[in-house]
Structure 1
Amino acid sequence: MVLSAKPVVLSAPGRGEDLQVRVSGPATGSDLPVLVFSHGFGWSMNGYAPLADFWAAHGFVVIQPTHLDSRTLGIPAADPRTPRIWRIRIDDLKRVLDGLDALEASVPGLAGRVDRSRVAVAGHSWGAQTASALLGARVLDSDGVPGEDMSDPRVKAGVLLALTGLGDGLTPFAAENLPFMKPSFDTMTTPALIVAGDNDQSHLSSRGPDWFTDPYTYSPGNKSLLTLFEAEHSLGGIPGYEVAETTDESPARVAVIQQLTTAFLRSALHSEDTGWEVAATALEEAPNPLGKLQRK
């Protein structure tokens, strides 16, 4: 059984809107690790149920903030905060970590059951870019120099779903309006699982689906790459089944993501846990695998 509370509101001076958060966790168990999830463009704390519910049912306290780009807030594109939303998103995740006391107290029966030493972040698409900053990724400035280090030592592992790659090959629109799409992964040292679809063709880049494997290729070790066969940007439907942006709906593909991300995070946060090795071997030995796994 999963217990959930929403909206939990964290004060956010200077943001223009207080931060609304959903907190979910298992009804039983102790020493529960924390997983902060950043949604993709336009979504909110109410999305990504196929992942959030699964993670919570399997022992994680899942925390989902609603970023300023959410359609639920209706902030117009002309809002003066729009050029800074990518930075505000990163601040949102850190505000969540700073507010764990209030968030833990928001779910009846959760207090005293959370392990603050085991924290991970995850995200999809723009949310993966947001999460990657806490793992050590940086954004290049106009001269190609890596910008501010926004990593967070509280974060021990990450899952990056459909994270865009290097800034080469961007469309003119993306190059002009989306500065966060010029990343450097050289300092993304925190262990992470990167998930990419081999049929994910972005409208923001002239490159092919291999663009989404850059975070694995160009980051230091302690990384794994799960490439899902025939998967597009929604990776089979992780934002939710039967939603408009799911162009490649596949419950089986979503199930693989559920199982492998859970196994990875458990092993990354508990050194004695061998579930990741078991799950990786099962994928590699499957007669008709839905993807392939690379590790370094």
Structure 2
Amino acid sequence: MTNGTDRRTVLAALAASVLPGGLRAEENLVMRRSPIPGEDPHWYAFGQNGPWNPHSEPFIVPYEAARVVVHAPRGVKTGRLVVFSHGALTDPLVYRPLLQHWASHGFVVAAPVHDDSIFMRGLLARRAEAKGGSSWDVDRVLNDALAWDGRCEACRLPLEHVDRIQKVIGYSVNTERPIIIGHEFGAYVVQLLLGAKVVADMGKPLKFIDPRWYAGMMFSPQGVGVMGLTEDSWGGVSKPFMVAQAGLDADFTGQTAEQRLDAFNRSAPGNKHLAWFPQARRNLPIGPSAGGSLAEKTQFEDFRAITTAFLYAYSNYDEAVFHQLITDWPERATLKRVRTAYR
């Protein structure tokens, strides 16, 4: 080699020759750590990236009412639909490590950019203070029944107009058993769509149920006493779901992590799962920050594992995984880093 340019050319050609499936270097590759001796092989498989490379950048699918960010696997003929609702004043891209992980396991993950996103109309929740500066009127966003309805409608778009997603990603999307998932405000949307009854201003009861959802997952949902939720809000929720809750969670609602378990404890029995992460904090679904501790990285692997297992059990209808989920398998596999319950 006579110069740096020649060296770069040779290295680029070598990389192209070894990348599977003709992938370009900028595309995501399936990366997994090596298993630890004695580690449960099934838990390891669910916590690591799956067999498919997700597209390195998500697709943006425009609808009249909202934009939808779609994470999709490469090299599949079809993928099952998962819809994800982000937290208040955030954006789907915040959850990219998790959504890409599900896509690597073969799921097509559609995440609407809600009106309260900081990148959409969320700036309307910012108000000027008397002494200058600004503050966020989050309470106004969370307690607006029109905002609840708008979020629910946005989550229905991928289900009702899946043809648009199929046209963009280039293959079919299976909507036979669609799963709805959300974090914080998104978890509230999941509760509404699965049938939770809430009380709005003037004591008017509201229901936003959509029976087309087969099951759901809620990350840090709300409990009795906020956003119109009462003790009997969940009595009619019969669809399968999982509540995944960080034990050290704390946010502006003031509710404890234990109060956030009301959906699990008060809903109708039958296919209800709880995944409790005693030492995890609020950012668990987002993943560890750069330079995060080993404990945070392990917690996020555990989180990816149990949520992916739920998708296999209910969206893929994998009976073997379902039977694992209703046992103490997650506790044994994680040495009780994750505590589970089933009712």
TM-score bin, normalised by smaller chain: 0.7 to 0.9
CA contact (8 A) 1:242 1:249 kept: no
Aligned counterpart, 1:209: 257
Moved more, 114-123 or 131-140: 131-140
Distance 1:71 1:248 in 2: 30
Aligned counterpart, 1:76: 124
Aligned counterpart, 1:45: 92
Aligned counterpart, 2:218: 160
Per-residue CA distance 1:139-178 (angstroms, 9 max, x = gap): 1235666422x222221011100101111xx5xxxxxxxx
Question: Identity, % of aligned pairs?
Answer: 26
The residue type equivalent to 1:158 in the other structure is: G
* Secondary structure of 1:63 counterpart: strand
Question: Unpaired runs of 5+ in structure 1?
Answer: 13-18, 171-178
1:233 aligns with 2:282: yes
The verdict on how the C-alpha distance between 1:180 and 1:247 changes in structure 2, with shifts beyond 3 A counting, is farther
User: What root-mean-square deviation, in Å, do the aligned CA atoms of Structure 1 and Structure 2 show?
Assistant: 2.6
- Matched residue count: 270
Mark the structure with the bigger radius of gyration.
2
The verdict on how the C-alpha distance between 1:290 and 1:223 changes in structure 2, with shifts beyond 3 A counting, is same
Aligned counterpart, 2:178: 119
CA contact (8 A) 2:313 2:319 kept: yes
Aligned counterpart, 1:260: 306
1:7 aligns with 2:60: yes
CA contact (8 A) 2:288 2:300 kept: no
The residue type equivalent to 1:37 in the other structure is: F
Distance 1:276 1:256 in 2: 17
Per the normalisation by structure 1, the TM-score is 0.82
1:190 aligns with 2:243: no
The residue type equivalent to 1:232 in the other structure is: R
Aligned counterpart, 1:139: 198
Distance 2:116 2:249 in 1: 23
* Secondary structure of 2:223 counterpart: coil
Shift of 1:202: 3.7
Distance 1:138 1:287 in 2: 35
Per-residue CA distance 1:9-32 (angstroms, 9 max, x = gap): 1012xxxxxx11111221123442
Per-residue CA distance 1:169-212 (angstroms, 9 max, x = gap): x5xxxxxxxx455581112211001011222234323x532111
CA contact (8 A) 1:20 1:65 kept: yes
The verdict on how the C-alpha distance between 1:180 and 1:40 changes in structure 2, with shifts beyond 3 A counting, is farther
The residue type equivalent to 2:54 in the other structure is: V
Aligned counterpart, 2:21: none
Distance 1:267 1:146 in 2: 33
CA contact (8 A) 2:302 2:334 kept: no
Shift of 1:42: 1.3
Distance 2:334 2:118 in 1: 42
1:220 aligns with 2:283: no
The residue type equivalent to 2:313 in the other structure is: S
Distance 1:101 1:25 in 2: 15
* Secondary structure of 1:189 counterpart: coil
Aligned counterpart, 2:8: none
CA contact (8 A) 1:157 1:265 kept: no
Higher helix share: 2
1:57 aligns with 2:104: yes
CA contact (8 A) 1:125 1:161 kept: yes
The verdict on how the C-alpha distance between 1:43 and 1:133 changes in structure 2, with shifts beyond 3 A counting, is same
CA contact (8 A) 1:260 1:276 kept: no
* Secondary structure of 2:72 counterpart: strand
Aligned counterpart, 1:251: 297
